[in-house]
Amino acid sequence: AGIMASSRSLAKFWEWGRNIICVGRNYAEHAQELKNALPSEPLFFLKPSSAYVREGDPIIKPYYCNSLHHEVELGVVIGKKAHAVSQKAAMDHVAGYALCLDMTARDTQAECKKKGLPWTLAKGFNTSCPVSDFVPKEKIPDPHKLQIWLKVNGELRQEGETSSMIFSIPYLISYISEIITLEEGDLILTGSPKGVSAVQEHDEIQAGIHGLLSMQFKVAQ
């Protein structure tokens, strides 16, 4: 009964979902590796829906970027409209999950931070949001008990437990929905564990949720 009938398939949320909301600094060790203070409330930013890219297509490094970083994240796909929902009711608005990469032009981001400018150039470029297949909520009884990982050219770079999130998924949904109404098909990226690093043209990125799925992307210039 909780699943919403829709002409648009949530299994292909990236084809029609409008908003990508990304949470920064939601794992303590990642905040520390980038020398950021731990947040007392969630920090979030947006990517345009044109950032989506699917397996089979490459991640394209923007022309202005000299240091393209990978950040592997659990994505939460919204299944019904959420406006100022409580933490208690938040999970009723979740349709499922996807593994996502928050590709980041790190050198550009450093410049933006220094000048006090928004991060759009660093985070919102085309192909900055690779996503896996959709995983229905029923397949993941507890999204805070997952292990996510990322390899570059077969070498493990990132591995983290979603139990280490600073702000839980219900907290994030509740907090964000007070500010931005979440719609069906919207995606929340819940933050990256430590181990972010640069990738070059021709690198192969492989990422997965342990025991559930994996995906692969090539980096192009």
Render pLDDT for 68-116 as a digit per residue (tens, 0 to 9).
Answer: 999 999 999 999 999 999 999 999 999 999 999 999 999 999 999 999 9
Mean pLDDT (whole number) for 136-156: 98
- Compute CA distances 108 → 10, 30, 112, 121, 175, whole Å: 33, 18, 6, 7, 28
Other CB atoms within 10 Å distance of the CB of residue 79: 23
**pLDDT exceeding 90 applies to what percent of the chain?**
91
Give me the CATH topology for the region 10-219: Fumarylacetoacetate hydrolase; domain 2 (3.90.850)
Is residue 4 pLDDT above 80, yes or no?
no
- More confident of the two residues 192 and 38: 192
DSSP per-residue letters across 154-207: TEEEEEEEGGGBSS-HHHHHHHHHHHS-B-TT-EEE----S---EE-TT-EEEE
pTM of the model: 0.95
pLDDT of residue 1: 43
pLDDT of residue 129: 98
